[in-house]
Every structure is written in C-alpha cells, then in structure tokens.
Amino acid sequence: MAFTLITAATTAEAHRLKSSMNPDEVILGDYLDLPEFMIKSGKMLRLPNPQSASYAHEMLTLCLDHDIKSLHPVREAEAEALVEAKQLFIEYGINISVNEIQ
C-alpha cells in the first residue's frame, strides 16, 4: 500500500491535512520530539532535521523505505529543502505537494 507522509505531526495544519485524506493511507512525521508510543504504532515517523545538509536524501530514503508516494511538507524549512530536490523525488515516483512554496 502506498502512503502519504505529512510532516510537522505536532501541528494543527498537519492534522487538518490528514482529516482531508484517507487516514489509513496517511503517516505523520516530525523531526521534533514525538511520543515513543506514537512512533511504535507505525503511524508516526521520526524525520531528519531539515537543517541537515543531506536532508533531501535522508527524506528520499525514508520515503522509499516506507512506500511513501506523496509528501506534504508543512514547515517552511522542510518545504524549501525539498522543493530544491523535487525532480529527484519525481524520478522515484514520489510527489511533493507544497502549497505556498513552489
């Protein structure tokens, strides 16, 4: 099953996006602290920090490992870093949906 990853799992924006989708196909993730029990449930992931020089490649690996075909970065730093690598993600069949930063 292909999944959609929404970043910034601790924000209202992420939960608003999730509520507009099929919840069985959505995984939330965040690079900020997340409760361990949420990560163990498999519906939340620890994400790399967008300040990392290899952020786009770390995110690509994570998407491939978890069968993520659609990525919705919520925080601006995440979106900016991923937009620069959008073509790379497209080559692997992963769509990046960025609302304001294109």
62-102 pLDDT per residue, tens: 999 999 999 999 999 999 999 999 999 999 999 999 874 43
The yes-or-no verdict on residue 61 having pLDDT over 60 is yes
The yes-or-no verdict on residue 42 having pLDDT over 80 is no
Q: With bands split at pLDDT 50, 70 and 90, how would you rate the model's confidence at 36? A: confident
The yes-or-no verdict on residue 39 having pLDDT over 80 is no
The yes-or-no verdict on residue 41 having pLDDT over 90 is no
Least confident of 2-11, 36-45, 69-78, 84-93: 36-45
Burial class (CB in 10 A: 0-12, 13-18, 19+), 11: middle
The yes-or-no verdict on residue 48 having pLDDT over 50 is yes
The structural domains of the chain, ordered by start, are 3-96 (3.40.50.20)
Query: Is residue 55 classed as helix, strand or coil in its secondary structure?
Result: helix
pTM of the model: 0.90
Contacting residues for 100 by C-beta, under 8 A, at least 6 apart: 79
